[in-house]
């Protein structure tokens, strides 16, 4: 008897260039394919590492990439320029700007530089027409304020990656037309409030991701995460919205295509 093909799904955010995956990329991507992951976006968090991340996207069908300066790295890296980001965005498999954002949990001392970097990335998103990938941690008020100010100055698309902030920030983002992305955190048993935030959001604004190698969902929690495990988070999302897994996977993939339009075209 022929085994049914796995339900197609997208991992909208992973870090394939991290040392956790050294020497394993072919096997890692094969496991993702076997789990139904047809496409994934690997994220460069330090622009000097962009060539390595780009090479991974070039070497593998269905792998796209984005690049930016992670807010926790802003103090240690040269400040990105709009021109630099726009130039990187000319690559056909480059599908988004970031990740960028604000993180005051460990790096509040660089808050001013983080805010300046965020605004640079927003302008690059405007100029390229590519979506922005936002990291937000313990900076909800400033995040909502800056994203709103910048949107008034000129619209841009955006996903709140690995969303685990407050209902107020979720509402601010949704009001701007942005997307919320579910990571393995949403599948943790104690994440009841976070699941309620996602359940209250429109289904057509939800994405799923692994953020691998971090935040593995149950039953892999505490171990290295990988793109194949996005299916476990998606199963939790399907339950939240009261639909079956295949429908949730289809709907979130459609959302991905709407936001990441270049990836939807296959990198054209």
The residue with tokens 């076997």 is 34
Dist. CA 206–CA 159, nearest whole Å? 9
Q: How many angstroms separate the Cα of 157 from the Cα of each of 9, 180, 249?
A: 21, 12, 21
CA distance 2 to 252: 27
pLDDT, residue 93, reads 98
Please report whether residue 83 resides in a domain. yes
d(CA 186, CA 183): 6
Q: In the prediction, which pLDDT does 3 show?
A: 61
Q: Residue 75 belongs to what domain range?
A: 9-264
Residue 3: inside a domain: no
Instruction: Give the tokens for residue 258.
Output: 């709407």
Contact 172, 148 (CB under 8 A): yes
Answer whether residue 1 is part of any domain. Answer: no
- DSSP 8-state symbol, 50: H
How many domains in the chain? 1
Question: What would the two tokens of residue 177 be?
Answer: 């037309």
Q: Which two tokens stand for residue 186?
A: 């949403």
User: Are 100 and 69 a contacting pair, CB within 8 Å?
Assistant: yes
DSSP 71: G
Among 253, 127, 122, CA closest to 181: 253
Residue 240 lies in a domain: yes
pTM: 0.96
Task: Classify residue 141: in a domain, yes or no.
Answer: yes
What pLDDT is attached to residue 268? 67
Q: Does residue 218 contact residue 183 with C-beta atoms inside 8 Å?
A: no
CA distance 20 to 35: 20
Cis geometry, peptide bond prior to residue 165 (ω within 30 degrees of 0): no
Alpha helical stretches, state H, 154-229: 167-175, 192-199
Q: What is the CATH number of the domain that holds 66?
A: 3.20.20.140
Q: Could you list the mean pLDDT of each consecutive 10-residue stretch along the chain, which spans 268 residues?
A: 79 97 96 97 97 97 98 97 98 98 97 98 98 98 98 98 98 98 97 97 98 97 97 97 98 98 88
């Amino acid at each position: 008897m022929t085994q049914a093909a796995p339900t197609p799904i997208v991992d909208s955010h992973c870090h394939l260039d991290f040392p956790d995956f050294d020497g394993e990329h072919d096997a890692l991507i094969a496991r993702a394919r076997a789990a139904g992951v047809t496409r994934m976006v690997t994220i460069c968090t330090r622009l000097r590492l962009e060539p390595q991340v780009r090479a991974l996207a070039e070497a593998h069908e269905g792998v796209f990439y984005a690049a930016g300066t992670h807010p926790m790295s802003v103090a240690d890296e040269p400040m990105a320029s709009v021109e630099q980001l726009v130039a990187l965005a000319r690559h056909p498999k480059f599908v988004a700007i970031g990740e960028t954002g604000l993180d005051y949990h460990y790096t509040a001392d660089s808050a001013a530089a983080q805010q300046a970097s965020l605004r640079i990335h927003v302008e690059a998103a405007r100029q390229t027409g590519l979506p922005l990938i936002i990291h937000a941690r313990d900076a909800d008020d400033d995040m909502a304020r800056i994203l709103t100010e910048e949107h008034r100055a000129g619209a841009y698309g955006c996903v709140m990656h690995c969303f685990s902030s407050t209902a107020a920030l979720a509402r601010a983002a949704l009001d701007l037309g942005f997307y919320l992305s579910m990571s393995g955190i949403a599948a943790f048993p104690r994440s009841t409030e976070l699941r309620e935030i996602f359940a209250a959001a429109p289904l057509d604004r939800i994405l799923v991701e692994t953020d691998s190698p971090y935040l593995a969902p149950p039953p892999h929690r505490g171990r290295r995460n990988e793109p194949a495990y996005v299916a476990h988070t998606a199963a939790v999302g399907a339950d939240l919205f009261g639909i079956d897994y295949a429908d949730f996977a289809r709907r979130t993939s459609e959302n991905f295509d709407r936001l990441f339009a270049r990836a939807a075209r296959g990198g054209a």
